[in-house]
Amino acid sequence: MTIPEKIEKPHVAFLPSPGMGHITPLFEFAKHLVIHHGFHVSFFVITTGASAAQNELFRPENLPADFTAVEIPPVENISSFFTDDMKVVTQLCIMVRESLKHLPSLLMEKRPKALLIDLFCTDAFEICEKLLIPVYSFFTASTILMAFSLYLPTLDREVESEFVDLPEPIQTPGCTPICPHDILDQVKDRKNDEYKWYLLNVSRLPLAAGIFVNSWDDLEPVSLKALRENLFFQKIPLPPVYTIGPLIKQDEVVTEKDDEILAWLDNQPPDSVLFVVFGSGGTLTSEQLTELAWGLEMSQQRFILVARKPSDASASAAFFNVGSDENDHYCTCLKDSLRKQKGGV
């Protein structure tokens, strides 16, 4: 009897930048490949600036078989690269740049067939080109933002003023126009290093062998059609765009408070509840949180508001310390008006 040869599992590597909003979807995608498609995954973890939530996520008991978390050594004296007025995306990109100095040796050790990165890890393109490893990108935000970001280098060449000062909406090819004041914070001040880092990273997106998005065609039909069919994006040329959403956390622990909220939600009419959440790193000031709460109350709509303790220091104050405080998040489900609650949120 001939014993069949053992089939080697396809091996791919993942590389997210710090920040749970980037790590979580790549982590879920990697687990999906391991559990449902028989892949082996090496998941490179940037440990510089790691939050408590990140450390909790990569505990060995949270990882499936054939999923290997590979820690990238922390950068020594990373604070020496920062200034007091440096914004979070600049800090993030410097952390990645310095951390990826270890990437060539790790890739040569692990030898994956491909590397999947997020938006702020594009230094990997040059590294992997030398090692003949194809690189795929994962765009963690909406596809309308992705389309705008791919259009940004053209705007940068053609527009001399600040984008927020433009008199007309910004028309990304094939997409819904965007009011200048509604554009991403990172591109509102072109003199800031944060803008320069963002522009550098999005200008490298076409170098990818393909781009994955956490979306699906029925959710964002207009922007996805533009990315696939509009002549502007065809001329870049843009690599294939793959919709793989919705990717959601499968192993979320449901608390007693969560049960209460879900039970309340089940009793509401379909399509009647607003869900308001600013992500793992989003922080409001006390004044902003109060204004938001009263605005929701005045809307006369049922809503669920997910928030954290306000910070008057920075809108990104929690970005690098998510999960460091058990009381960091609270979730309020308003069934009646704030006035009836005597104090509200």
Cα–Cα distances in Å, from 76 out to 81, 132, 260, 276? 10, 29, 45, 38
**Burial class of 97 by CB neighbour count within 10 A (0 to 12, 13 to 18, 19+):** middle
Tokens (6 digits) for 96: 């990645």
Decide if 71 contacts 55 (C-beta within 8 A). no
**Burial class of 302 by CB neighbour count within 10 A (0 to 12, 13 to 18, 19+):** middle
- Contacts for 141 with CB less than 8 Å, ≥ 6 apart: none
Radius of gyration over alpha carbons of the chain, in Å?
22
Tokens (6 digits) for 27: 């982590």
- Give the CA count within 13 Å in the CB-facing half-sphere of 142: 11
- Active-site amino acid positions: 22, 118
CA 283, 253, 47, 95 torsion: positive or negative? Answer: negative
β pairing state of 11-15 and 40-46? parallel
